[in-house]
Amino acid sequence: MARLSARPRAVFLDRDGTLNVRAADHDYVRTAADFRWLDGAAEAVGVLDRAGYVPFVVSNQRGVARGLMTADVLTEIEDVMQAALARHGTRIEAFRYCVHDLEPACACRKPEPGMLLDLAAEHDLDLGASWMVGDTAGDVEAGRRAGTRTGFVGEPAADPGADLRAATLLELAALIGSASAVAGRP
């Protein structure tokens, strides 16, 4: 019988478009007041947490490099998120951002796996038993490159070939929880 890893498994969640309403093209969620949860997303984080996945946020935030927001704003948004998640009995374990511009290339901007790999090393996570969930091909590719399973939130036609897909994060959380139960892990 195969031995299950004692290392924690994670769910790495993209932020904009997965947890919250994405700003218009070429714009950013620039203040905590601009942050709006997608329906069921906060509840979904709790579902994933109770299924045994430690929740993390990994998000490209190029607006910092462009001077459209500051790192302090990202912290204010984290505070808003954590307060809402507490009402669902959960929290994000850690937030990680790529605040770099497109050039020069860096190892952390998704689809590169740097943010996931850094968090995995810091928290001794089992990447093979973890998930990367997002709403873009770059999110899915970052998960693949890091060695996680992948989940896509969005329309079927836009699915870049993730392991699981659903229209909402809450639907996807239920699928991931079911897949976990079938695999025999709490």
pLDDT 10s digits, 59-82: 999 999 999 999 999 999 999 999
Residue 24: predicted pLDDT? 86
Residue 5: predicted pLDDT? 56
Distance CA 129, CA 67 (A): 37
The answer, yes or no, to whether residue 2 has pLDDT greater than 50, is no
Residue 116: pLDDT band with limits 50, 70, 90? very high
**For the chain, first and last CA: distance in Å?**
17
Distance CA 58, CA 131 (A): 12
Any residues with CB less than 8 A from the CB of 32 and at least 6 apart, and which? 73, 76, 77, 79, 80
Mean pLDDT of 156-166: 94
Mean pLDDT of 103-110: 92
Runs of H (alpha helix) within the chain: 41-50, 71-86, 114-123, 137-146, 169-182
Omega of the bond leading into 113 within 30 degrees of 0 (cis): no
CA 24 to chain centre: 20
29 in Cβ contact with 74 (< 8 Å):
no
Q: What domains does the chain contain, in order, with CATH numbers?
A: 11-179 (3.40.50.1000)
- Reported as a single tens digit per residue, the pLDDT across 131-143 is 999 999 999 999 9
Residue 102: pLDDT band with limits 50, 70, 90? confident
For the whole model, what pTM was predicted? 0.93
3 state DSSP class of 40: coil
Closest residue by Cα to residue 173 from 185, 182, 162, 165: 165
The answer, yes or no, to whether residue 152 has pLDDT greater than 90, is yes
Distance CA 58, CA 16 (A): 10
